[in-house]
Structure 1
């Protein structure tokens, strides 16, 4: 068996194999790597974890007069040497308003741009389609007639600017996974 120095570079072969695998299998491979490899844990921590002190969120009004700070550790310090003594958290969370993931260490008062209410259909414009039983509340119609969908919070349509700018807010997850009874008992 050739030594590691004599083996050809397998990076391109691994990248090709990764592109052919399912997400499910890749997640399991990553889990295996972080369970068995200190270097794998270090790399995964760098990409997926943040020190809790580095998490930025909308300041909560307090009775103190001092400013709210994000902590003493920089992102580089917190991820390059993950230790159990530094409280860590997930680096990415799903935003309640934006509905996509965001980096919790880069959150700011201008990070999130959103509407408070969901968009609505201009039913008068699509009256004939609605009477005919055609579902116009879909992406195809939004793409074709963006000016005929509007937000009730501000009256703007899909091509106009958003009405709210602020901090991303983490979407709360259920504290306990609920499995329907018919699935549990077969």
Structure 2
């Protein structure tokens, strides 16, 4: 007699563990849903000496210091890049804008540099300011509660300066 296990059932399956997927997984899990996250790349541990690459010398490269095709060098600590073979979402057809891809746990949050600038009130109303483009159908005050929530959740470093179009947030003190 063969025993068959029932497959695990999930309320939601999230593709990618970057900023959007990671935040979605947290919010849904905190609401009590059973979540599965599917990730294209491996786990990356910057403290693991085998994976710690930023402090290595060029001669430690498999190319022994020869030039690399990687835009940020051989040791950029990212599994990915501007061009990934078979990646269908690198560039929209007819455009020259490239998306940097990180196929690793956490996605592009691995190289975002802890910079999280908010759009300010004027950014939503540019047509009123310079006559170009269209105004957004929402304003800064509509998204401010979400900016505040994200600041508190992920921990953004900075200082409140009271600048007119650079809104203050909830910042951790600089290290």
Task: Please give the TM-score of this superposition, normalised by the length of structure 1.
Answer: 0.21
Compare CA radii of gyration and give the structure with the larger one: 1
Q: Return the structure number with greater relative CO, CA threshold 8 A, min gap 6.
A: 1
